[in-house]
Amino acid sequence: MNDIFEKLFRQEHLSRLEAQQVAEQMFEGQLRDSQIAAFLTGLKCKGETAEEMAGIAETIQRKAIMIDCQKENVMDNCGTGGDQSGSFNISTTAAFVLAAGGVTVAKHGNRSISSKSGSADIFECLGVTISLPPDKLSTVLNEVGLVFLFAPHMHPKMKYAMKVRRELRTPTILNLIGPLTNPVHLNSQLMGTYRRDLLEETAKTLGELGRERAIVVNGSGGLDEASLAGTTHFALLEDERITMHTIEPEMFGFARLPIDAIRGGNAEQNTETLLSILHNQASPYLDTVLLNAGLGFYSNGKVSSVQEGISLAKDCVASGAALDKLQQLIRVQKEVA
C-alpha cells in the first residue's frame, strides 16, 4: 500500500491490476479505515481513470451475489448520486416507465448516503420488499421484467468500506463505480454521473465491462441525470465507439426550468411525487422523468432516437402502463415472499 500511496501522491495513475489488487485487500477486510480513506481521497484528488474504475468494479462484481436472468437485453438506469442537487428520485421513477415500455430493468441501488432519500428508501415506501433472497429476486426479474437489487445485500463485501464512506461525506470512486457493479449481466445501460469530466472515461469503462450499448449522462448544474435546467451532455457507447453529444430541453418541447423546480424531500415526499408522475399529473417532475426515460429507451436500443424514446415514455405513462408495472411488481414480490 505504501507504493500505491506514493504513486497517488505523485499524481500518477494506477494500472488496472494495481486497482484490482487494492480492491481485493479492501473488500476482504485487510485494510485499515485510515488506509481506505487515504486511497479513496488520493484517487479523488488525482482524478480517476477508466482503468482504475474498471479494476475496482471487476473486483466488486466478482465478489457479488449474482442474479440469474433469462431475459434478453437487460439494462440498469442507476446513477452515481453525489450531485448535491436535492432532486427527487428520477431514475427510480423512470425505471417503471422503461419496464412498461418492454425493457427489462435490473434496478441496482442503495439507501441514501448523501441525500435525503435513496432508491431503496423509495421502494420500501412503495411496499416493495428489498430483502428477498437471490433466487426469488431472479423470479421477480424474469416474471415482471423489473426488480430492485439492494446493493448491500448484493455486495456484502462492501461493508468494509461503508464506515469510511459515511465519515468522508463526499463522493468517491465508489460512487462512480456503484452503477458499474450490477449483479445481473447487463447488455445496455443508462448511467448518470455527477462528473462531467469523466463522461467519456466512464463510457469506456462500461464497454470494457461488456456493455454493448450505453449512455453516460450529466445534466446542467452537474446533475447525475438529464436536466431541464440547461444543456445535458452525454457519451454514447455504440458499436464499440464512443461519441459525445449535447441536448437541450427545448429540442423536445420541454420548458427550461431551474433545478429547484424538481427539488425532492424525504422518502415519503418523494414517493408521493413518484406516484403523481405515474398518474400522469403534469409537472416539471413528470417532464424530467420523460426526458430521462426517453434517454433510457435510446440507450437500450429500443428506439432509434431520443425523441422516439420520449414519445414512447409519454405513451407508457399516459396509458397507465407504468403505474400497472409498479402494481405488478408489488403483487409478484408479495407472492414470491
Query: What average pLDDT does this structure show over 17-35?
Result: 97
> Looking at residue 36, what is its pLDDT?
97
Residue 112 annotated as binding site: yes
Q: Per the structure, how many domains does the chain have?
A: 2
Grid coordinates of 203 = 463510457
- Is pLDDT larger for residue 85 or for residue 304? 304
The pLDDT tens digits of the residues spanning 31-82 come to: 999 999 999 999 999 999 989 999 999 999 999 999 999 998 999 999 987 7
Domain range for 29 is: 1-63
Within-domain flag for 109: yes
Would you put residue 102 in left (φ > 0), alpha (ψ -120 to 50) or beta?
left
The pLDDT tens digits of the residues spanning 77-129 come to: 999 877 677 789 999 999 999 999 999 999 999 887 555 688 999 999 999 99
Same domain membership, residue 56 and residue 203: no
DSSP-H helix ranges across 169-303: 173-177, 199-208, 267-278, 284-300
> Looking at residue 113, what is its pLDDT?
58
Residue 113 annotated as binding site: yes
Q: Do the strands 213-218 and 232-238 form a parallel or antiparallel pair, or are they unpaired? A: antiparallel
Using CA atoms in the order 138, 104, 154, 179, what is the torsion angle rounded to 10 degrees? Answer: 170
Same domain membership, residue 161 and residue 230: yes
> Looking at residue 118, what is its pLDDT?
86
Residue 114 annotated as binding site: yes
Query: Structure pTM?
Result: 0.93
Residue 82 annotated as binding site: yes
Residue 225 annotated as binding site: yes
Same domain membership, residue 17 and residue 138: no
Same domain membership, residue 49 and residue 81: no
Same domain membership, residue 118 and residue 37: no
196 has pLDDT over 90: yes
Query: What average pLDDT does this structure show over 309-315?
Result: 98
Same domain membership, residue 281 and residue 165: yes
3-state secondary structure of 301: coil
Residue 3 annotated as binding site: no
> Looking at residue 115, what is its pLDDT?
56
> Looking at residue 37, what is its pLDDT?
97
CA distance 85 to 115: 9
Look up the CATH number of the domain holding residue 218.
3.40.1030.10
Within-domain flag for 68: no
Residue 13 annotated as binding site: no
